[in-house]
């Protein structure tokens, strides 16, 4: 059956209309653009994740152990009293300079003076009796044995007199050293009792130009501290000013508070201008290692975790991923008060995501390394094995976060670097 010539002519005339032609052209172009959008986005960098990055740097890095402590004079003396009584006079006050032997306070002497007078009278009587008996014994009126008895009474009276004189002298409290009064614990009219322990009346610092910081160091860090290490410290009274000193002593006596064991470390501090005062709180840093040209990365990069919703292509492009780095990565430092290099290869392994550029396409590549020293803000990058080169270089962009991302959990603390 032959097609109707009228219908063929009608269809040709339909496609020959300009509106239909342009509609077909637009449909084809739309299809092409849609395909380009779907398959060309990765290449042109369209709709990629916007990462926040920092660069790897080279520069000085110092590992320190932080501790807080109290400033005290190197040599101070607590002045007490050997007798009980009421404070009658106070001859010095806070900040006064005193000389050795100077009377700085006095206890009421009336009772002690009366006891001394009584002891003196008893001694005088015993002495006269003994002298009288000596004459009688020479003349033969009494025996030698009777003379021995009076001699014993005389000696007892002399001992009581000396004891009463000492108690009377002790009512005058004298400075045992030259120095400055840094503490006064009594007021005029106050009663002090000297029983088993002498009461504290004054504290005298021998030399305020020589101070020391008494710090408490955790038992896990004390093994890296030795005498002679340099240290710095600050005090709240002088913000921005850094004082310097050296470790002078690591005391071997432990301090156990609620099962937390610490050791006392003394840091010397010169105080020529007398700005540092006893009792000030000092925030100290003990320098245990220093590297002037360390390849370092910000610790925020160590704490970054690639979120689970990141595309599979990005994760597949990751290379150099030792299994130990996954568990060790959770210990990235957030700035604790202690520090170390770690205690083994697995404990030292860390990894970061380096953002590599391929045209307009950005690909995060995971790279692992061995952790060196850290100051709490930056950590040193070391090769995985001694003698090898590090697969990271100065200027590499390291991911520290994703723009606009919230609620991504990044561990803040863990088992690694604790040194800064």
**Which pLDDT band holds residue 315 (cuts at 50, 70, 90)?**
very low
Assign 157 to helix, strand or coil. helix
Q: Could you tell me which of 58, 55, 54, 56 has the C-alpha nearest to residue 292?
A: 58
**Which pLDDT band holds residue 50 (cuts at 50, 70, 90)?**
confident
pLDDT of residue 218: 94
pLDDT of residue 27: 76
Q: Span 387-407, mean pLDDT?
A: 82
pLDDT of residue 342: 42
Q: How deeply is 58 buried, as exposed, middle or buried, from its count of CB atoms within 10 A (0-12, 13-18, 19+)? A: middle
Report the distance separating Cα 321 and Cα 417, nearest Å: 20
Q: Span 354-373, mean pLDDT?
A: 85
Q: In angstroms, what CA-CA distances link 216 with 99, 220, 230, 261, 375?
A: 34, 12, 17, 9, 20
Q: How far is C-alpha 28 from the geometric centre of its chain's CA atoms?
A: 71
Q: Of all residues in the chain, what percent carry a pLDDT higher than 90?
A: 57
Map out the domains of the chain with their CATH numbers: 51-59+293-402 (no CATH), 109-170 (1.10.287.470)
**Half-sphere exposure in the Cβ direction for 361 (13 Å, CA):** 11
**Which pLDDT band holds residue 323 (cuts at 50, 70, 90)?**
very low
Assign 104 to helix, strand or coil. strand
Higher pLDDT, 330 or 364: 364
Q: Is the pLDDT of residue 338 over 60?
A: no
Q: Is the pLDDT of residue 297 over 50?
A: yes
- Report CA Rg, the chain: 43
pLDDT of residue 196: 65
pLDDT of residue 310: 57
As a whole number, the mean pLDDT across the chain is 81
Higher pLDDT, 199 or 181: 181
**Which pLDDT band holds residue 4 (cuts at 50, 70, 90)?**
low
pLDDT of residue 356: 87
Q: Span 246-259, mean pLDDT?
A: 94
């Amino acid at each position: 059956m032959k097609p109707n010539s009228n219908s063929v002519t009608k269809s040709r005339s339909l496609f020959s209309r300009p509106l239909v032609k342009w509609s077909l052209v637009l449909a084809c172009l739309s299809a092409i653009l849609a395909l380009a959008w779907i398959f060309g986005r990765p290449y042109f960098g369209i709709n990629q994740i916007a990462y926040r990055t920092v660069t790897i740097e080279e520069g000085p890095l110092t590992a320190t152990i932080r501790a807080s402590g109290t400033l005290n004079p190197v040599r101070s003396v607590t002045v007490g009293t050997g007798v009980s009584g009421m404070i009658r006079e106070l001859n010095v006050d806070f900040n006064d300079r005193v000389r050795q032997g100077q009377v700085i306070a006095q206890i009421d002497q009336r009772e002690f003076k009366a006891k001394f007078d009584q002891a003196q009278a008893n001694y005088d009587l015993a002495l006269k009796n003994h002298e009288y008996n000596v004459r009688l014994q020479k003349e033969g009126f009494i025996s030698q044995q009777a003379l021995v008895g009076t001699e014993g009474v005389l000696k007892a009276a002399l001992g009581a007199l000396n004891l009463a004189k000492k108690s009377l002298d002790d009512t005058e409290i004298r400075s045992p050293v030259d120095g400055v009064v840094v503490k006064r614990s009594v007021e005029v009219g106050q009663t002090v009792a000297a029983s088993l322990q002498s009461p504290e009346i004054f504290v005298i610092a021998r030399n305020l130009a020589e101070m020391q910081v008494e710090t408490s160091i955790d038992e896990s860090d004390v093994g890296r501290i030795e005498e002679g290490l340099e240290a710095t410290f600050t005090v709240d009274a002088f913000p921005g000013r850094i004082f310097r000193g050296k470790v002078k002593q690591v005391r071997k006596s432990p301090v156990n508070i609620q099962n937390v064991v610490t050791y006392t470390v003394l840091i010397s501090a010169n105080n020529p201008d007398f700005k540092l005062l006893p009792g000030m709180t000092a925030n100290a840093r003990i320098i245990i290692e220093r590297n002037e040209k360390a390849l370092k990365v910000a610790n925020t990069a160590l704490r970054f975790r690639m979120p689970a919703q990141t595309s599979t292509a990005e994760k597949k492009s990751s290379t150099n991923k030792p299994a130990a780095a996954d568990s060790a990565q959770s210990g990235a430092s957030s700035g604790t008060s202690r520090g170390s290099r770690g205690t083994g290869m697995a404990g030292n392994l860390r990894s970061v995501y380096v953002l590599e550029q391929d045209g307009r396409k950005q690909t995060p590549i995971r790279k692992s390394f061995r952790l060196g020293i850290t100051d709490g803000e930056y950590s040193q990058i070391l090769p995985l094995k001694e003698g090898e080169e590090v697969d990271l270089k100065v200027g590499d962009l390291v991911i520290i976060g994703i723009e606009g991302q919230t609620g991504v959990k990044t561990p803040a603390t863990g088992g690694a670097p604790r040194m800064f």
